[in-house]
Amino acid sequence: MFYTGAPQNTKRYKINSDLTNLAISKMQEEGIDLNNIIVHAPYIINLANSDPSKYDFSIRFLIEEVKRCEEMGIKYMVLHPGSHVGLGVDEGINNIIYALNVVLKESKNVTILLETMAGKGTEIGRNFQELKSIIAGIDKKELIGVCMDTCHLNDSGYDISNFDKVLDDFDSVIGLKYLKCIHVNDSKNPLGSGKDRHENIGYGTIGFENLLKVLYHEKLENIPKILETPYISDKAPYKEEIAMIRNKKFNENLKEIID
Ligand code: FE
Ligand code: FE
Ligand code: ZN
């Protein structure tokens, strides 16, 4: 997963096709499938808030993000559905649907993946029903999907220790065919806390064994899984975390090794 620029702002450079081609050939050398590479939309886009200046800006910027993905050959973009900022869930959902239909009209083959959210503040997407309601209003259903985030699921009240039940629930409400990506993160906070603070794999309230069950679930074999765990001493811990996931053995010294 990557961002087309800093996720906190909308400053973007023109796509350099030489660099894109270089990246694609590097990925081929390393056996990385471009279909498993995902862009995350910037956090400042809020499609749930219909305040005219912000709403139009969010829609226009998201269309540009889609175009950038298309230029790079990226098929999937993860998006936080938005926060209704006091308008209420129903109005927020209607705003998201309208905006996504405008954006997806401009998309040939970039699919937007709505992320399951922790339910912080007025975030929409705190449960499968809300995502289902959004999807129901989308015209081009072939270009909409969902990205599960295990930290967010935990914080919004879905118990990852019973992940089969969570998946069944997802399947009956939304449909498993819409699930295209998983963010695998532990959580600093307890089940249902509505907080959204990520923790390193095995160091949080979800725990290593429960996250392994997600990572190795037979129904999710072909779905890209992405770590968004916090840096340790200003360093990305992904290499070490992936090693412990591959070994299926929790490394209780992770935080010291990197330190
Ligand atoms: Fe996200
Ligand atoms: Fe996430
Ligand atoms: Zn998060």
Q: Give the ranges where the chain is alpha helix by DSSP (H).
A: 17-29, 52-72, 89-105, 128-136, 150-155, 163-173, 208-215, 238-247, 254-258
pLDDT tens-digit series, residues 203-244: 999 999 999 999 999 999 999 999 999 999 999 999 999 999
Q: Is residue 253 part of a domain?
A: yes
Are 205 and 154 within 8 A, CB to CB?
Answer: yes
Q: CB of 21 within 8 A of CB of 57?
A: no
pLDDT value at residue 259: 65
Within-domain flag for 188: yes
| Ligand 1 midpoint to CA 74 (Å) | 17
Q: Is residue 191 part of a domain?
A: yes
Instruction: State in Å: Cα 183 to ligand 1 middle.
Output: 8
Q: Confirm whether 11 is domain-assigned.
A: no
Q: How far is the CA of 229 from the centre of ligand 3 (A)?
A: 9
Q: How many domains does one find in the chain?
A: 1
Distance 80 CA to ligand 1 centre (A): 6
Does residue 10 lie within any of the structural domains? Answer: no
How far does the centroid of ligand 1 lie from the alpha carbon of residue 148, in Å? 9
Q: How far is the CA of 205 from the centre of ligand 2 (A)?
A: 16
Say which ligand is closest to the CA of 118: 3
For residue 171, what is the domain's CATH number?
3.20.20.150
| Ligand found nearest the CA of 183 | 2
**Does some domain include residue 5?**
no
7 part of a folded domain: no
Ligand in nearest proximity to the CA of 228 = 2
Q: What is the pLDDT of residue 9?
A: 87
Residue 81 lies in a domain: yes
C-alpha 168 to ligand 3 mean position (Å): 23
| Cα of 230 from ligand 2 centre, angstroms | 12
* 135 vs 93: CA distance, rounded Å: 10
Ligand nearest to the CA of 78: 1
Q: Which of 171 and 10 is assigned the larger pLDDT?
A: 171
pLDDT band of 18, cuts 50, 70, 90: very high
Strand duo 179-184 + 225-227: pairing: parallel
Q: What is the pLDDT of residues 64-97, one digit of tens each?
A: 999 999 999 999 999 999 999 999 999 999 999 9
Q: How far is the CA of 56 from the centre of ligand 2 (A)?
A: 25
Q: Could you tell me the pLDDT band of residue 10, with boundaries at 50, 70 and 90?
A: confident
* Percentage above 70 pLDDT, the chain: 99
Q: Which residues form the domain of 223?
A: 17-258
List the structure tokens of 147. 């990205």
CB within 8 A of 253, min separation 6: which ones?
none
Ligand located closest to 154 CA: 3
